[in-house]
């Protein structure tokens, strides 16, 4: 009878860095697809932030859905549920629910409606307090039951039945006395509420039926007297034969009540999306230190217990296009990292288990992923091939950046051939679309592809945008510098910079707000206050960042702590 709750499946997220760029997004999509082809069924691409207009354009162009948005990976209740929940349906008998608890060795049993949605929870405390409150024999015990539940729990033989699943509050009357005493007893009750327990006594059977009792339950498997069946039918009185003796039958009637009678309706469930740290207090106060967990629709998906707090979460991580925790989605350190596929400098990083770590000096993570498709003889669909090509072209500024290697060029040629795209034309199409960037608010331009770094005991941030002409952005330098100043103040950075890379002229502008001594040392030609022209500089990681760190070392005189 237990509702079969959906299970929280163990899954693997393939995820790129915060402020994801195109390479980061397409690498996650393509690598998740490769892992699924190789048998890791629950492997999903995820993204740690908003898509840039460029990435959005590319995904739309090839009609490929964006990866699941995972704004943070701070532990949530749902990540720790290993098994689906054993539940009881609200209309089932208390007896069946208690049997389920015994069989499944659970200390709490969520009670759900027919759709699996949470209604209450059955636990031993609730049972104990409700049994004295609701069916205290010292007072007149009234038990809500239906004929269906009675028949099932008593394993009784139906002779005549009325009422079916309708639950009504009833009294148990045991006909253990003389006929006259019993008659008096029944006359003091409302017969329509009475469940009469009797043996093979024709006088009691007949009188109960004539009085219109709710049901006559004959115990010890004894028969209904001849001729009374027709009478019961005409008076609409249920008659059933219980195989048990009178005391066992009376006992089982109590347990025929719907499980809701004894459940705790005040206990509140928690949402699978709740942060673990936010439910700790509720968990400590919960019966048996267990909480029913529901999804967005209120459907019970599991039980969260104190032991789950020390268990491994049911999510694993594959990092692509980054390897530094400072650039990773918040909370990532709480999970097991299975693999890292990257092309950046190494941050200081350690794991508890051996992992697959692939870091190659190429222009894009997409180049590495495309190579893995070929090595592993996986199926490269046209959509995925086009995305990977876009990843290579955007990360290498159409193969013009100094980070572009022969491997990137070969891979771009191979992919372009697969999908019949012209590299030059496709590259221009992508970048001319990125011109829209100039219309965005300054903080969005700065935040779109922003990376944080640490060196010489200081933290700094460098954002990058690629455009096909810098004029549109240069007229907004005031707003952009204000945005950088705010960001620097909010995050106590040594400096905050924006690199505007012109893919037509193959040079960049550097807008920077930072420590004055440091700014004065910048050797690039100055265009304006806080604006420098960096000829032939296209790559943030390979050209600009090493230069900036070197400059920091001369100004701060502190050993590099990369």
Would you tell me which residues interact with Mn ion (CB under 5 A)? 23, 321, 365, 395
Between helix 202-211 and helix 179-187 the angle, nearest 10°, is 20
Mark 426-459 as b/e (b = at least 16 C-beta within 10 Å): bbbbbbebbbebbebebeebbbbbbbbbbbbebb
Minimum CB distance to Mn ion smaller for 92 or for 395? 395
Give the residue from 498, 480, 491 showing the smallest Cα distance to 443.
480
Minimum CB separation from Mn ion for residue 388, in Å?
12
Minimum CB distance to Mn ion smaller for 408 or for 513? 408
Q: How far apart are CA 223 and CA 128, in angstroms?
A: 36
Give the residue from 120, 114, 116, 117 showing the smallest Cα distance to 94.
120
Cβ pair 300, 85 in contact under 8 A: yes
Minimum CB separation from Mn ion for residue 451, in Å?
11
Minimum CB separation from Mn ion for residue 320, in Å?
9
Q: How far apart are CA 225 and CA 222, in angstroms?
A: 9
Minimum CB distance to Mn ion smaller for 119 or for 540? 540
Q: How far is CA 308 from CA 120, 276, 414, in A?
A: 22, 10, 48
Q: How far is CA 355 from CA 18, 33, 35, 238, in A?
A: 22, 20, 15, 69
Minimum CB separation from Mn ion for residue 332, in Å?
18
Full strand arrangement of the beta sheet holding 43-47: 68-69, 43-47, 11-15, 315-320, 336-342, 356-359
User: Nearest-CB residue to Mn ion?
Assistant: 23
Minimum CB distance to Mn ion smaller for 293 or for 368? 368
Cβ pair 507, 536 in contact under 8 A: yes
Minimum CB separation from Mn ion for residue 313, in Å?
27
Minimum CB separation from Mn ion for residue 50, in Å?
17
Minimum CB distance to Mn ion smaller for 153 or for 539? 539
Minimum CB distance to Mn ion smaller for 173 or for 393? 393
Minimum CB separation from Mn ion for residue 364, in Å?
5
Minimum CB distance to Mn ion smaller for 394 or for 458? 394
Reduced to 3 states, what is the DSSP secondary structure of residue 435? helix
Q: How far apart are CA 310 and CA 414, in angstroms?
A: 48
Minimum CB separation from Mn ion for residue 24, in Å?
6
Minimum CB distance to Mn ion smaller for 295 or for 395? 395
Minimum CB distance to Mn ion smaller for 198 or for 464? 464
Minimum CB separation from Mn ion for residue 23, in Å?
3
Minimum CB separation from Mn ion for residue 365, in Å?
5
Helix ranges (DSSP H) in 192-245: 202-211, 228-235
Q: How far is CA 531 from CA 57, 138, 514, in A?
A: 30, 88, 12
Minimum CB distance to Mn ion smaller for 299 or for 369? 369
Minimum CB distance to Mn ion smaller for 393 or for 456? 393
Give the residue from 475, 382, 390 showing the smallest Cα distance to 428.
390
Count of CA atoms in the C-beta half-sphere (13 A) of 186: 31
Minimum CB separation from Mn ion for residue 551, in Å?
24
Phi-psi map region of 236: left, alpha, beta (phi>0 left; psi -120 to 50 alpha):
left
Give the residue from 167, 166, 184, 164 showing the smallest Cα distance to 175.
184
């Amino acid at each position: 009878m237990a509702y079969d709750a959906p299970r929280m499946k163990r899954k693997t997220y393939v995820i790129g860095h915060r402020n994801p760029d195109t390479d980061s997004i397409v690498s996650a999509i393509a690598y998740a697809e490769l892992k699924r082809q190789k048998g890791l069924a629950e492997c999903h691409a995820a993204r740690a932030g908003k898509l840039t207009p460029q990435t959005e354009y590319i995904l739309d162009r090839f009609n490929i859905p964006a990866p699941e948005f995972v704004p943070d990976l701070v532990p949530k209740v749902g990540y720790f549920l290993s098994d689906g929940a054993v539940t009881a349906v609200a209309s089932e008998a208390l007896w069946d629910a208690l049997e389920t608890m015994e069989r499944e060795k659970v200390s709490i049993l969520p009670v759900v409606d027919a759709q699996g949605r949470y209604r209450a929870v059955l636990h031993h405390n609730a049972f104990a307090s409700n049994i004295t409150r609701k069916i205290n024999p010292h007072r007149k015990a009234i038990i809500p039951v239906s004929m269906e539940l009675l028949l099932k729990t008593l394993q009784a033989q139906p002779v005549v039945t009325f009422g079916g699943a309708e639950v009504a509050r009833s009294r148990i009357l045991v006909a253990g006395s003389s006929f006259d005493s019993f008659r008096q007893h029944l006359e003091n009750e409302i017969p329509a509420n009475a469940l009469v327990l009797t043996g093979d006594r024709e006088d009691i059977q007949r009188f109960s039926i004539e009085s219109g009792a709710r049901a006559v339950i004959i115990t010890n498997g004894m028969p209904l007297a001849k001729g009374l069946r027709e009478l019961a039918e005409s008076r609409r009185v249920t008659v059933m034969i219980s195989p048990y003796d009178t005391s066992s039958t009376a006992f089982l009637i109590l347990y025929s009540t719907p499980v809701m009678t004894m459940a705790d309706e005040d206990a509140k469930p928690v949402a699978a999306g709740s942060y673990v740290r936010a439910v700790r207090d509720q968990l400590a106060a919960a019966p048996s230190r267990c909480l029913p967990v529901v999804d967005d629709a209120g459907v019970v998906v599991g039980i969260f217990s104190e032991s789950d707090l020390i268990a491994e979460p049911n999510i694993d991580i594959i990092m692509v296009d980054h390897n530094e925790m400072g650039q990773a989605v918040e909370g990532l350190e709480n999970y097991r990292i299975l693999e890292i596929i990257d092309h950046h400098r190494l941050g200081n990083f350690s794991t508890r288990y051996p992992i697959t770590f692939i870091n190659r000096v190429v222009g894009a993570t997409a180049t590495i992923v495309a190579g893995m498709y070929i090595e592993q003889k996986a199926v490269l669909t046209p959509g995925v091939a086009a995305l990977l090509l876009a990843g290579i072209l955007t990360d290498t500024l159409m193969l013009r950046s100094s980070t572009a290697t022969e491997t990137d060029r070969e891979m771009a040629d191979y992919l372009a051939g697969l999908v019949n795209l012209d590299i030059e034309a496709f590259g221009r199409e992508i970048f001319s679309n990125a011109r829209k960037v100039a219309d965005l608010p300054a903080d969005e331009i700065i935040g779109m592809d922003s990376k944080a770094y640490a060196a010489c005991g200081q933290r700094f941030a460098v954002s990058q945008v690629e455009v096909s002409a810098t004029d549109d952005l240069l007229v907004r330098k005031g707003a952009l510098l204000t945005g950088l100043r705010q960001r620097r103040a909010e995050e106590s950075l040594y400096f905050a910079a924006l690199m505007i890379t012109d893919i037509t002229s193959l040079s960049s502008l550097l807008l920077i707000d930072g420590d004055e001594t440091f700014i004065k040392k910048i050797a690039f030609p100055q265009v304006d206050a806080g604006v420098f022209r960096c000829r032939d500089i296209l790559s943030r990681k390979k050209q600009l960042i090493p230069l900036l760190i070197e400059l920091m070392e001369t100004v701060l005189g502190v050993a590099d702590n990369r």
